[in-house]
Amino acid sequence: MLKNQGYGYGVYWYLSDKNDLELRALEKKALKTLMNHVASFNSANGDIKTLVGVDVANENSVTHIHGVGDTVYHNPATWGAYVNFSSQAAFVARTEWEYTVNLANGIKESNYPVWTRLNTFTTAEEKSIDYNEEMRVSGGTSLDFVGLDPYSTSTSTLYSYGHQQTVVGTSDENWAEGSNLPMVMENSGAVSSAESLLLASLAGGAFYNVYEYMGPDNFGLYYPKDTSTDDFTPVARGTYVADVVKTNKLLKSLALDLSTKRPSGANGTRLVYFNPFSNSTSTQGRILTFATSFTGNSTGTVGLAIVRSDHTILLASTRDSTFSISGIVDYGIEAVEYGYYTAAGNFVANGTQSYIANATGISVDVAQGLLVHIQTKDAFFAVK
């Protein structure tokens, strides 16, 4: 127990020891019981499995317990006494990992086992990713992935987060290490560049979460209309929210490809983002071997090109734009159409899309949110 002053805690703060094995057992039992209830509810309601993952701990900490600062908190009476470890880093890594994996075990052992994740922040706990990847290789782990709450407004930082060593505050980690799935666990929605930050993260290989939709922490894309009269009707924080909504709808229509293909920013070959930093109106790139020019009607326009087969390329854009693809005409243009994808990933054409072709390539206008499908007569790469 710590006597202190602080927001939301009153005078006395009760701190639990993460190496208390009896407490761990109770927490695991509670979470496993909850997930068994989810399983029963799911079975009784059409087996639609709307819950796909669980965040086992939010900004969990050993060294920074809301006001304690960087003092290591432990109970010397338990097995995890600080003196039993060679260093503070060793104590933190082992304690953090065991505590969160114990919770993940409760989920995996339940009747509704789903993905498990941990979001951390820029203290010593960020090393959770290193320890989890070591254990994944040497002995296994039930914690599927670990990510950071960067709260960054830098598109270049969030772009690099998905595929390389990245400095965020005091954090200097490679969140794509080993088999970890790089994910921006929390980033503020209360910034006008919210759409750009989302797209930069995806283009660099990371998935992205906004914190929050609307809530008391004031990071939301929306805020309540009038709390004084208990009117909690969501009000968009700015005009930028409409762009976020439109882009999310576009991304949803491409969900299968975005979840199964590595973007070119993370050394992929079949998912290419044009103008990933949202800082230009015209950019050059490549779709496989095809040199491609992308021009948007505004500075923030981001384009996507997806190689869906050895005969097909999909084009999409967050704003009206034009793609010019060199060399593809050598394989014969079978069709250029616009349409949508079924849940199984099959393209359904709604109509033909006009284009300009010449000896060097093809130029196609792509309206905001439209999916344009180019199909060639001959295969333009060998299927492996």
Establish if 77 belongs to a structural domain.
yes
Classify residue 10: in a domain, yes or no: no
Q: CATH code at 47? A: 3.20.20
CB 328 within 8 A of CB 313: yes
User: pTM of the entire structure?
Assistant: 0.91
The verdict on 93 and 223 lying in the same domain is: yes
240 and 289 both lie in a single domain: no
pLDDT value at 128 more than 90: no
Question: What is the per-residue pLDDT across 250-303, written as a single tens digit (0 to 9) for each?
Answer: 999 999 999 999 999 999 999 999 999 999 999 999 999 999 999 999 989 999
Instruction: Give the count of domains, the chain.
Output: 2
Same domain flag for 98 and 217: yes
Q: Are residues 165 and 293 in the same domain?
A: no
- pLDDT reported for residue 144: 97
First to last CA, the chain: 61
Domain annotation covers residue 244:
yes
pLDDT at 92: 85
Asked if residue 381 is part of any domain, the answer here is no
Cα gap 150→79, rounded to integer Å: 33
Closest CA to 188 of 197, 180, 178: 197
Q: Is the pLDDT of residue 248 over 70?
A: yes
Those residues with Cβ within 8 angstroms of residue 22's Cβ, 6 or more apart along the chain or in another chain: none
Same domain, 337 and 230: no
Count CA atoms within 13 Å of residue 119 on its CB side: 18
CATH classification of the domain holding 284: 2.60.220.20
Give domain status of residue 339, yes or no.
yes
pLDDT digits (tens, 9 = 90+) for 143-171: 999 999 999 999 999 999 999 999 998 88
Find the mean pLDDT for residues 68-80: 69
Q: CB–CB of 175/130 below 8 Å?
A: no
Do 208 and 317 lie in one domain? The reply is no
Residues 30, 119, single domain; the answer is: yes
Radius of gyration, alpha carbons of the chain = 24
Closest listed residue to residue 10, CA positions, set 21, 2, 19: 2
Tell me what pLDDT residue 384 has. 44
Section 201-209 average pLDDT: 97
Instruction: Specify if 283 maps to a domain.
Output: yes
Please, which residues bridge with residue 313 across strands?
Answer: 307, 374
Nearest to 327 by CA among 356, 361, 375, 358: 361
Q: Chain-wide mean pLDDT for the chain?
A: 91
Residue 204's pLDDT is 98
Tokens representing 300?
A: 């923030």
Asked if residue 202 and residue 98 are part of one domain, the reply reads: yes
Do residues 215 and 224 make contact, with C-beta atoms less than 8 angstroms apart? Answer: no
Among residues 260, 288, 310, the one where a domain terminates is 260
Whether 316 and 339 share a structural domain: yes
Is the same domain home to 250 and 313?
no
Domain presence at residue 383 = no
Q: What is the 3-state secondary structure (H, E, C) of the chain?
A: CEECCCCCCCCEECCCCCCCHHHHHHHHHHHHHHHHHHHHHHHHCCCCCCCCEEEEEECCCCCCCCCCCCCCCCCCCCCCCHHHCCCHHHHHHHHHHHHHHHHHHHHHCCCCCCEEEEEECCCHHHHHHHHHHHHHHHCCCCCCEEEECCCCCCHHHHHHHCCCCEEECCEEECCCCCCCCCEEEEEECCCCCHHHHHHHHHHHCCEEEEECCCCCCCCCCEEEEEHHHCEEEEEECCCHHHHHHHHHHHHHHCHHHHHHCCEHHHCCCCEEEECCCCCCCEEEEEECCEEEEEEECCCCCCEEEEECCCCEEEEEECCCEEEEEECHHHHCEEEEEEEEECCCCCEEEEEECCEEECCCEEEEEECCCCEEEEEECCCCCCCC
Is the per-residue pLDDT at 63 higher than 80? no
Kindly report, residue by residue over 39-61, the tens digit of the pLDDT. Answer: 999 999 999 999 999 999 998 87
Co-location of 134 and 174 in the same domain: yes
Output the six-digit token pair for 317.
């854009």
Q: Please name which of 288, 303, 314 lies closest in space to residue 368, comparing C-alpha atoms.
A: 303
Residue 59 belongs to domain spanning: 17-260
125 in a structural domain = yes
Residue written as tokens 């600080």? 82
Do both 232 and 322 map to the same domain? no
Domain final residue pick, 240, 260, 280:
260
Q: Which of 211, 227, 260 is a domain's end point?
A: 260
